[in-house]
Amino acid sequence: MNPLNSPLEIGMRALVLLAESHPQPLDLAQLALLDHAVLHSGDLDGPPSLHPSLPGHTGELGMKRTVLEQALLVLIRAGLANVEADETGLVYRATESGPAFVDILEAPYVGRLRQRAEWAVHHWAPETDVRATTADLLNGSLPSPTPFEGRRD
């Protein structure tokens, strides 16, 4: 198995996003866009990007949904996330074990990922229309983001 962009890798990023938004749920479209935002935050006037900005990286959005669905199943089987139906459709929420699991991860990459997840969930996403922003990214025109202001305490 190639770990790069595997359900395991994307699942860990999704878990960090679900833990940051806990107890609020996120739907698949939100998770896909937030995952893109944490990887390419520098392109969105956030903290420096975790991954390099390569030509065509917006194409990741279209391919990510299938792997993200597989990743969420891994998290659900592990008891780290749940799927629920609400008035908008299916949403995913970290269980109480999800944020606790993220808290024990000590790798420097996870620390940088958590910083960008905090930015994406609390600073960037509240002002972001998921469908419009996804369309803008896929069409090559970036939205007008809110500049990164650091961690809220």
14 in Cβ contact with 67 (< 8 Å): no
Query: If we measure between CA atoms, which residue out of 97, 113, 143 comes closest to residue 35?
Result: 113
Tokens of 96: 């109480």
Residue-wise DSSP of 16-60: HHHHHHTTS-B-HHHHHHHHHHHHSGGGGTSSPPSS---TTGGGH
Whether 118 maps to a domain, the answer reads: yes
Residue environment code for 60-95, b if the CB has 16+ CB neighbours within 10 A, otherwise e: bbeebeebbeebbebbeeeebbbeeeeeeeebbbbb
Q: Which runs of E-coded beta strand occur in 29-105?
A: 81-86, 89-94
Q: What is the mean pLDDT of the chain?
A: 84
For residue 45, pLDDT over 80 is answered with yes
For 10-21, write each residue's pLDDT tens digit: 999 999 999 999
Please tell me the total count of domains within the chain: 1
Whether 147 maps to a domain, the answer reads: no
16 in Cβ contact with 117 (< 8 Å): yes
Range of the domain at 107: 7-139
Whether 151 maps to a domain, the answer reads: no
User: How far is residue 84's CA from residue 92's CA, in Å, rounded to a whole number?
Assistant: 6
Read off the pTM.
Answer: 0.84
**CATH number, position 54:** 1.10.10
Whether 35 maps to a domain, the answer reads: yes
User: How far is residue 12's CA from residue 63's CA, in Å, rounded to a whole number?
Assistant: 17
Question: Sorting pLDDT into bands at 50, 70 and 90, what band is 150?
Answer: very low
* 50 CB burial (10 A radius; 0-12, 13-18, 19+): middle
For 87-108, write each residue's pLDDT tens digit: 989 999 999 999 999 999 999 9
